[in-house]
Chains A and B, each alone.
Chain A
């Protein structure tokens, strides 16, 4: 069965890790998901280099920063691309008076943006960081909002300087003949509110810098204010708002791990089915908007994609009562069983699935078989797998570069291991491959949904348990920490939660796949034409709600 791991990755035992880190570890910490080593702020690179090169931890999944009463702390969550169940965390405490810590950027490129975010929101300085600026909040912001002493009522000032006319004289460089061009934040091709600072040499892109934060809605703060049981679940729906349901699973998985909750099998099947339908909806939207980006097709493909997305949304609305913000997961289960009459629901879903092959053919004719489309996409926006790994890319973006990495199979959860499906990869490394991956993933998702429907239909009536026993107020033990990730439509969506003994999390950190995927934009488009930059951006399929959180 394809869903089983065929690879044999050497397992690094904890003892070996301990030997490797040696006496650079001040102590060890007990995270629920992985062993954690506490190291001195000036030994960060040393330890990380060893873990990467000697033990093979080539994926810096997430950088979490937080403040305690007596110290600041940065946590580097490491994984292996070949086997993400092997994890290790490196914890770096720094003093409150002088929160300075060595940067991890030379070891993992993905630490660049990760640490900028940590500086921006929490206020830790990273020594040696190549670009120590704010990333989400405006440059002129005062204070660091997730700092314990932050006063939210203080006035703030935001400038509009970047909006100077791009064609004015001083945007031309007299010596090198380049021109500076702002794309966004209000621009039809940026998929929302993204600002791309571009330097052009003729039609060629000389330099690109995505400027994000135009949709930074304080999701982490909101989640830290909500109670575990019910108040947090609505927020994940609003991270990746094109394929909403898989996000709920990220929170559910982390919180269930934190509080040791069981989920009944029947609920797992429902979850799996809902998530895959939602993933399909997200991929349809990605296809439609991508076609819109590369050849301005607002009439045919865009509308076709929306037609199919509507169908998927209709089914999900029957299941959850909502078109987009499902809020369907509950800790320990789901909110509802499939609607009565069940047969009708199953029939409707089957109709949708039966119609898909014809539609996929249609997409192939219209889109991937289209010569204009191919000229725009084949061999543009090349993303080499080594670079993708360095930047922490996951999801269809990584799989389009031939990285065989899918948490549904590699770090199994839910009902996925029980079902027959394949992880799709393409070796083209270009914009075209990423589209192909998404199209094929739609078919794979359909396969999964079909099996779920069969299972649900045959499930014995007296065993349809949708929710396990969960205490009314959840108060995980103080100091419990966990980091868990799931595969959402864009890649690895991870959640770090630290419990502080109350019914709300002490720290809630979101590892967003789009954030990391977007950071490769410069690598992909430098030296290419401007239109290819737009195509690359479209093929990354970033959702700004998830990038900025």
Chain B
């Protein structure tokens, strides 16, 4: 308030002086203590393996890819949004570009036309990268398992670290899945290598058969293609 004497303003600087004093005082100021600091004891140094430290960092700050496919993505949005707020767990910053993301949540049904695109998006993410499969569709094709156009699970195309079952999984379930992933990442566990039957290949490299001969006039030799052998699908 401007009609107050200047003295009042002068007074108000007192607390910060106190803080400064206490900061410079002996020992460590309580206010700057954290649980972590307590754990370290009096010396603020720790000895750890670099890998371990990196894993811990990775698990504690995950950048998710903003990636929506089907119905599950609506529940995924709820997970990011108010009330569930995935950000509380250090994993809530959706990135629009795959080149800035380390986790991809695959939220929905993958169909033949989308398979190659998803593979491409996954390939564009920098290593190390992790995949959370959300919903039954990414496990087996879910309710559409018998469809002529539906890929029978995300693992047919990319490796998946965590499967969250449900149709759609509740936001709580997705949070649990992400938390589990963080735990695994922090522990340095890697996911098992899976067989990926559907790969992006150059058309010219495919073994010739009836289908290839038929399409030879339409597709260039160098074009990338994905071949679905439905009969071999689970």
A contact residues vs B (CB 8 Å cutoff): 137-142, 145, 150, 152-161, 163, 185-186, 188, 191-193, 213-219, 221-222, 225, 234-235, 238, 241-242, 285, 302-303, 306-307, 309-310, 323-325, 544-545
A324-B74 contact given A145-B148, A186-B121, CB 8 Å threshold: yes
Q: Tell me the count of chain B residues lying within 8 A, CB to CB, of chain A.
A: 56
Q: Return 9 A-B CB contacts under 8 Å, by A number.
A: A153-B230, A160-B117, A186-B67, A192-B69, A214-B113, A217-B147, A238-B71, A303-B82, A323-B168
How far apart sit A544 and B69, CA to CA, in the bound complex (Å)?
8
Residues of A within 8 A of B111 (CB): 213-217
A160-B70 contact given A140-B219, A216-B113, CB 8 Å threshold: no
Q: Establish whether residues A158 and B230, one from each chain, have CB atoms under 8 Å apart when the complex forms.
A: no
Minimal beta-carbon separation of B153 from chain A (angstroms): 14
With most chain A CB atoms within 10 A of its CB, the pick from B68, B226, B227 is B68
B116 contacts A by Cβ under 8 Å: yes
Q: Establish whether residues B70 and A157, one from each chain, have CB atoms under 8 Å apart when the complex forms.
A: no
Q: Establish whether residues A215 and B70, one from each chain, have CB atoms under 8 Å apart when the complex forms.
A: yes
How far apart sit A19 and B79, CA to CA, in the bound complex (Å)?
60
Minimal beta-carbon separation of A239 from chain B (angstroms): 9
How far apart sit A344 and B113, CA to CA, in the bound complex (Å)?
48
For B150, give its contact among A150, A214, A218, A225 (CB under 8 Å).
A218
With most chain A CB atoms within 10 A of its CB, the pick from B83, B149, B203 is B149
Among B4-12, B188-196, B210-218, the stretch in contact with A: B210-218
B55 contacts A by Cβ under 8 Å: no
Of chain A, the residue at the smallest CB distance from B206 is A157
B186 contacts A by Cβ under 8 Å: no
Chain B contacts with A in 161-176, Cβ cutoff 8 A: 167-168, 170
Flag B97-126 by CB within 8 Å of A: 1 or 0 each.
Answer: 010000000001101111111101100000
List 5 A-B pairs, minimum CB-CB distance, nearest first. A218-B147, A241-B71, A306-B81, A153-B231, A160-B224
A214-B117 contact given A303-B81, A307-B83, CB 8 Å threshold: yes
Of chain B, the residue at the smallest CB distance from A154 is B230
Of chain A, the residue at the smallest CB distance from B114 is A214
How far apart sit A307 and B229, CA to CA, in the bound complex (Å)?
44
B228 contacts A by Cβ under 8 Å: yes
Minimal beta-carbon separation of A240 from chain B (angstroms): 10
Residues of A within 8 A of B74 (CB): 241-242, 285, 324
Q: Establish whether residues A158 and B225, one from each chain, have CB atoms under 8 Å apart when the complex forms.
A: yes
Residues of B within 8 A of A185 (CB): 114, 117
For A192, give its contact among B73, B75, B121, B228 (CB under 8 Å).
B73
Q: Establish whether residues B167 and A138, one from each chain, have CB atoms under 8 Å apart when the complex forms.
A: no
For B75, give its contact among A157, A221, A323 (CB under 8 Å).
A323
Majority DSSP secondary structure for residues of A touching B:
loop
Residues of B within 8 A of A214 (CB): 111, 113-114, 117
How far apart sit A249 and B220, CA to CA, in the bound complex (Å)?
47
Q: Establish whether residues A140 and B218, one from each chain, have CB atoms under 8 Å apart when the complex forms.
A: yes
Q: Establish whether residues A186 and B82, one from each chain, have CB atoms under 8 Å apart when the complex forms.
A: no
How far apart sit A270 and B161, CA to CA, in the bound complex (Å)?
42
Minimal beta-carbon separation of B171 from chain A (angstroms): 8
Q: Establish whether residues B226 and A158, one from each chain, have CB atoms under 8 Å apart when the complex forms.
A: yes
Residues of A within 8 A of B211 (CB): 142, 154-157
Q: Establish whether residues A158 and B112, one from each chain, have CB atoms under 8 Å apart when the complex forms.
A: yes
Residues of A within 8 A of B227 (CB): 155-157
Q: Establish whether residues A158 and B77, one from each chain, have CB atoms under 8 Å apart when the complex forms.
A: no
Residues of B within 8 A of A192 (CB): 68-70, 73
How far apart sit A306 and B81, CA to CA, in the bound complex (Å)?
7
Residues of A within 8 A of B57 (CB): none
Q: Establish whether residues A325 and B71, one from each chain, have CB atoms under 8 Å apart when the complex forms.
A: yes
Residues of B within 8 A of A150 (CB): 148
Residues of A within 8 A of B68 (CB): 191-193
Q: Establish whether residues A152 and B148, one from each chain, have CB atoms under 8 Å apart when the complex forms.
A: yes
Minimal beta-carbon separation of B132 from chain A (angstroms): 16
Q: A138-B113, A213-B113 are in contact. List 5 more A-B contacts (CB 8 A).
A: A156-B230, A157-B211, A219-B144, A241-B70, A325-B71
Residues of B within 8 A of A225 (CB): 146
B58 contacts A by Cβ under 8 Å: no
Minimal beta-carbon separation of A490 from chain B (angstroms): 14
For B147, give its contact among A141, A142, A186, A221 (CB under 8 Å).
A221
A218-B144 contact given A158-B116, A285-B74, A306-B82, CB 8 Å threshold: yes
How far apart sit A422 and B179, CA to CA, in the bound complex (Å)?
47
How far apart sit A484 and B172, CA to CA, in the bound complex (Å)?
38
With most chain A CB atoms within 10 A of its CB, the pick from B71, B98, B223 is B71
Residues of A within 8 A of B219 (CB): 140, 157, 159, 161
How far apart sit A241 and B230, CA to CA, in the bound complex (Å)?
27
Q: Establish whether residues B228 and A325, one from each chain, have CB atoms under 8 Å apart when the complex forms.
A: no
Of chain A, the residue at the smallest CB distance from B67 is A186
How far apart sit A145 and B170, CA to CA, in the bound complex (Å)?
33
Q: Establish whether residues A159 and B225, one from each chain, have CB atoms under 8 Å apart when the complex forms.
A: yes
A215-B224 contact given A155-B211, A186-B121, CB 8 Å threshold: no
How far apart sit A217 and B227, CA to CA, in the bound complex (Å)?
18
Residues of A within 8 A of B109 (CB): 215, 217
How far apart sit A451 and B109, CA to CA, in the bound complex (Å)?
38
Q: Establish whether residues B70 and A221, one from each chain, have CB atoms under 8 Å apart when the complex forms.
A: no
Residues of A within 8 A of B69 (CB): 192-193, 215
Of chain A, the residue at the smallest CB distance from B209 is A155
Residues of B within 8 A of A544 (CB): 70
Q: Establish whether residues A234 and B70, one from each chain, have CB atoms under 8 Å apart when the complex forms.
A: no
How far apart sit A213 and B112, CA to CA, in the bound complex (Å)?
9
Minimal beta-carbon separation of B213 from chain A (angstroms): 12
A160-B223 contact given A221-B148, A303-B81, CB 8 Å threshold: yes
B96 contacts A by Cβ under 8 Å: yes
Q: Establish whether residues B96 and A157, one from each chain, have CB atoms under 8 Å apart when the complex forms.
A: no
How far apart sit A324 and B168, CA to CA, in the bound complex (Å)?
8
How far apart sit A156 and B198, CA to CA, in the bound complex (Å)?
11
B41 contacts A by Cβ under 8 Å: no
Q: Establish whether residues A159 and B224, one from each chain, have CB atoms under 8 Å apart when the complex forms.
A: yes
Of chain B, the residue at the smallest CB distance from A215 is B70
